[in-house]
Amino acid sequence: ALLARARGEDARHVEPDRAAVTIGAEDTFEHDLEGGPILRRRVTAQAERVAELLRRSGQQCGCVVLKLKDPEFHTTTRRRTLPAVTADGRVLAKVALELLDAARLRAPGVRLSGVAATALQPARAPRQLTLDEPERARGERLGETLDKIRDRFGRDAVARATLLSDEDRE
């Protein structure tokens, strides 16, 4: 049996439609980023992409994960559990940036960064309401509206101002 598996022979049933346990977005950079505003914009954009993927899959997350790889290929991973599940890109970005600020890399520069959402659950699942419920709902509605605009007019039709570089703002 072990020899058959080593040859790739396995009679067990394959389940290709398993529910996702993580939704993420990561990028490897052509040149190492030394931190600062460019890296912060990249992490923010990744968090926004993750939030969009969450909304499109009808899910919310309860934990945000930040992954960083330095030029020597050491990987640093940090995670934070959220007080309430969400698919709001602003919330995911805020937590990811806090994790970035607290991360201690072995070498200067970042070769790769990524943001992921874990502790997934259906968006319509019953949940504990929070005191900031109106703000949470407003943030998620904004994300859904941005998704609809992008669907209709293209990916570059609209972006959050925090994602724009200084040159883009002029």
Q: Which of 121, 126, 102, 114 is nearest to 66 (CA)?
A: 114
CA 23/CA 61 separation, integer angstroms: 9
CA 21/CA 78 separation, integer angstroms: 17
Burial of 32 (0-12, 13-18, 19+ CB in 10 A): middle
Provide the residue type at 108 as one letter.
P
Instruction: Considering only residues 168 and 133, tell me which one the structure prediction assigns the higher pLDDT.
Output: 133
Pairing of strands 59-69, 121-122: antiparallel
Backbone phi, then psi, for 157, in 5-degree steps? -65, -35
Provide the residue type at 85 as one letter.
V
How far CA 161 is from CA of 14, 74, 110, 116, in Å, comes to: 44, 32, 23, 22
What integer pLDDT is reported at residue 16 of this predicted model? 75
pLDDT tens profile 5-52: 888 888 888 777 777 789 999 999 999 998 789 999 999 999 999 999
What integer pLDDT is reported at residue 160 of this predicted model? 76
What integer pLDDT is reported at residue 65 of this predicted model? 98
pLDDT band (50, 70, 90) for residue 81 = very high
CA 86/CA 83 separation, integer angstroms: 9
User: Average pLDDT over the chain, rounded to whole?
Assistant: 88
CA 166/CA 60 separation, integer angstroms: 32
Instruction: Considering only residues 153 and 130, tell me which one the structure prediction assigns the higher pLDDT.
Output: 153
pLDDT band (50, 70, 90) for residue 53 = very high
pLDDT tens profile 128-144: 767 777 787 888 888 88
Question: Residue range 61-70: average pLDDT?
Answer: 97
pLDDT exceeds 90 at position 59: yes
pLDDT band (50, 70, 90) for residue 166 = low
- Name the β-bridge partners of 122: 59
What integer pLDDT is reported at residue 170 of this predicted model? 56
Question: Residue range 92-100: average pLDDT?
Answer: 97
Instruction: Considering only residues 167 and 139, tell me which one the structure prediction assigns the higher pLDDT.
Output: 139
